[in-house]
Structure 1
C-alpha cells in the first residue's frame, strides 16, 4: 500500500509504535500484540531526538492506554454494552480486551485509516461485535452511526483519545456537542483533560525535533474542557497524569503541567 497514512493518520502509527514498545516490556501495563504489525506495515517512523518532551509524551500515551482500558472494562461491568471510539486510529481494544457478551463496539475514523487498519489486522478475530464507520469527524459523523446499527436510546461508553488537542476550539465543541446529542442517560465519555494544554503546545513548539506531531496541535477546548462538559450536562471527574501513573507503578515528570484525563457521565 503506497503511503497509506498521512497527517493525523501518521500520528496514530506513532502511537501504535509506542504501544508495541510497551508490549515488549516485562513490566508492561497492557498487552497489545497487534501494535507491532502496524509498525511493520506502515511507512518508516519520522525520526525524533530523545529528550524530556518525547519521554513525557510516551508516558502520556502508555498511561492513557491503560487508563482507558480500565475505563471501558468498568463501563462494561456496569452494564453498558455499546461502545464508540471516535478517531479510533489504530486502536485494538476490540481485539485485545476481555469484553463481556453482548458488547458492540463502533470505530469511527477516516476511510484510509480504517482501510490500512483492517488490511493489517486481516484474519484477527475481535472479542466483541465490531463495526467500522468511515467518516470525517469535521462533518456529519453522528448521522452515520445509526445507519451502522448504533442505538442512541442505549447508554454508550464513548472515547475521544488523543484527538481534541488537534482540533480548533470550535471543532472540539462541535464534536462534543454531537456526542452529547447521541448520549442516552447513563452514557459515559473519556478524553484528555485540557489542563496544561497551553503549556504543552508551547513546549512542543520549543522542541519540535523531539515530538514532530506537536506541529499539528491547535489546542481544542484547552483549560475549559472540564467546565465545558459540566455546563453541557455532564458530571465530570478529573484524573491527573501523575496520580494515574503512580497507581500503575510508573513515575510522571515532576515539572510542568502534563495533561490528565476526564471521565464524564450523563446523569440518569
Structure 2
C-alpha cells in the first residue's frame, strides 16, 4: 500500500465511516466501494473515534462523528447532483478527492466531467484499493498539492476550462490547514472559476478549536499528527472575501438533518459553542 501522510490517513477514517453507514438499515446513502477504500487501517481509526465519542462509563459530550459524516456525505451528494443539473456540461472539481467514491457511485448526467485533485500518493493508493472498478462518469485525476501554487495549472492541463462555470466541492480540507493556506486555496479557486460557478465546503467555527468539551476529539486528531488548525465564526464573510456569495448551514437545521442529527442546534447568536458549517454559494463577477 502506498504510504500516506497524517492528514491523508484520515481519508481511511472517512471511508470506514461510509462503510459503516452503508451497513445501517436507516442509511442515508449507499457506498459499495467504501469497505475496500477503508483498507486495513480505516476500521481501527474508526474504533478509536467511537471510543472517545461514545465512552462506556460516561454520557456522550462530543459530536457524533458517525451521524455527522452521514449527514455531510448525503448533503453534499444532493448538492452536487442538483448543481450539475443547473450548470450545462458541468465540470465538477472534487478537491481534495481523498478516498471519495462519488465519481463511481453517483448517477451523473452523461455530459459531466469530474476532476479529482489530490497528492499523487493519495490517488495512487486510491487506484490500488479500487482495483478494476469503473467510474460512472468521465473522471480525470490531477496529482498535485493544493497548498502549492501550480495545481490549478495542472487542472487546466487536464482539460478543465476556467472560462466556463463549474462546480467545486472542498470537503474535509479547510480545518486541517493554517489560515494563510485557507486563503491561498480559496484564492486559487477564484483564479480559475468563472462567474456562476458553484462552490461548497465544510468548515468548523473558531470555538470548536479551543472549547474544553472538544478536547477529546481534538486530541485524537492531534495524536494522529493532523490537528485542526483553522475555524471561522463567519463563514459567509470568509467566502465573500474570495468572490463567493454563500450561505452556511449547520447539521441539524432543516436542510441538513435527514432525521439523524442527535443534538440541539445552537442559534448563530450563541457564543462559546462548537459548530460545523456546510457552506455553499455562487461565484460572483469580480
- TM-score, normalised by the number of residues in structure 1: 0.90
In structure 2, relative to structure 1, the CA distance for the partners of 1:54 and 1:107 (3 Å cut) is: farther
Q: Distance in 2 between matches of 1:217 and 1:12?
A: 14
Alignment RMSD, CA only? 2.3
1:28 and 2:27 are equivalent in the alignment: yes
- TM-score, normalised by the number of residues in structure 2: 0.85
Query: Are the equivalent residues in 1 in contact too, given 2:37–2:129 (CA < 8 A)?
Result: yes
* Aligned counterpart in structure 1 of residue 155 of structure 2, from 127, 145, 155: 145
Shifted more, 242-251 versus 145-154: the winner is 242-251
After superposition, give the CA deviation of every residue in 1:23-68 in whole Å (9 maximum; x if it has no partner).
Answer: 0011110110100002235476245224236652222221110000
1:64 and 2:66 are equivalent in the alignment: no
List alignment gaps of at least 5 residues for structure 2.
Answer: 54-59, 267-272
Q: Distance in 2 between matches of 1:103 and 1:203?
A: 45
Q: Which residue matches 2:111?
A: 102
Q: Distance in 2 between matches of 1:230 and 1:166?
A: 21
Q: Distance in 1 between matches of 2:221 and 2:100?
A: 18
Q: Distance in 1 between matches of 2:260 and 2:115?
A: 31
Query: Are the equivalent residues in 2 in contact too, given 1:234–1:264 (CA < 8 A)?
Result: yes
How many equivalent residue pairs? 265
Query: Are the equivalent residues in 1 in contact too, given 2:249–2:256 (CA < 8 A)?
Result: no
1:84 and 2:93 are equivalent in the alignment: yes
Q: Which residue matches 1:121?
A: 130
Q: Distance in 1 between matches of 2:215 and 2:29?
A: 32
Query: Are the equivalent residues in 2 in contact too, given 1:75–1:157 (CA < 8 A)?
Result: yes
Shifted more, 117-126 versus 53-62: the winner is 53-62
In structure 2, relative to structure 1, the CA distance for the partners of 1:244 and 1:127 (3 Å cut) is: farther
1:186 and 2:203 are equivalent in the alignment: no
Runs of at least 4 residues off by over 6 Å: none
Give matches, 1:185-224, under 5 Å: 185-194=195-204, 196-203=205-212, 206-208=215-217, 212-214=220-222, 216-220=226-230, 222-224=232-234
List alignment gaps of at least 5 residues for structure 1.
Answer: none
1:237 and 2:247 are equivalent in the alignment: yes
Query: Are the equivalent residues in 1 in contact too, given 2:203–2:231 (CA < 8 A)?
Result: no
